[in-house]
Structure 1
């Protein structure tokens, strides 16, 4: 069963382009990197780095120091009914912690074929409305306000 604590990682470049991933289980649903903790004691920053690598092949240890940062934002949201079976009985809400990764430029992306179909780089103002998740849109908009 999944732990109802997750990370959202927005990947963006110095020229304000954002990486979007298309979900395999819902073609047409675009998002940033997301994923749940593997264990209750997994540090959030470690979960963010792990999910980033699993879903894109981007290794934080190969990036400049402090490229992965907390956005100091967490939200609670209702888990979509079609995904509740992944959690324990009666679990309907998830707590999501936001992170960002600043890249100097676009980097090669290696998708997780079990999770994503394709990817695209878009300017933040174009990328945000493409995200199906309201919190993902809000996280991208927060990049513009930081």
Structure 2
């Protein structure tokens, strides 16, 4: 009987531990989804001060027209070289691996590029890294899809 009780207690502890881990992971996933949603709004608002604190110092950005680092991305946003007017998010998924989160968005992006308003369907990959208890955007990559979302 004592062995049964010990096994039962250990089983309850393991189930509780797994449940807590799952809840924590879901909370982190939701935090990343909210951060991504806010990022789209900050980009639409050209709020480079907030974006500067979100973008990791070594972050990289991949667009249809090229790739570059943090300073150029902030300059492009500030100048309106690319104005991310509105991102309509259709799907989102998040995978957490240690201190890294990979978020995939399927979006329609309404943007102004070179003075022309355009809408493009994209799969957007966002990579976030958690350093010093703060999530920072490490990579933002746009892959244009061939069909509208």
TM-score by length of 1: 0.27
Specify which structure has the bigger relative contact order, considering alpha-carbon pairs within 8 angstroms and separated by 6 or more residues: 1
What is the TM-score normalised by the length of structure 2? 0.27
Q: Which protein is richer in helix relative to its size?
A: 2
Structure with the largest fraction of strand: 2
- Structure index of larger Rg: 2
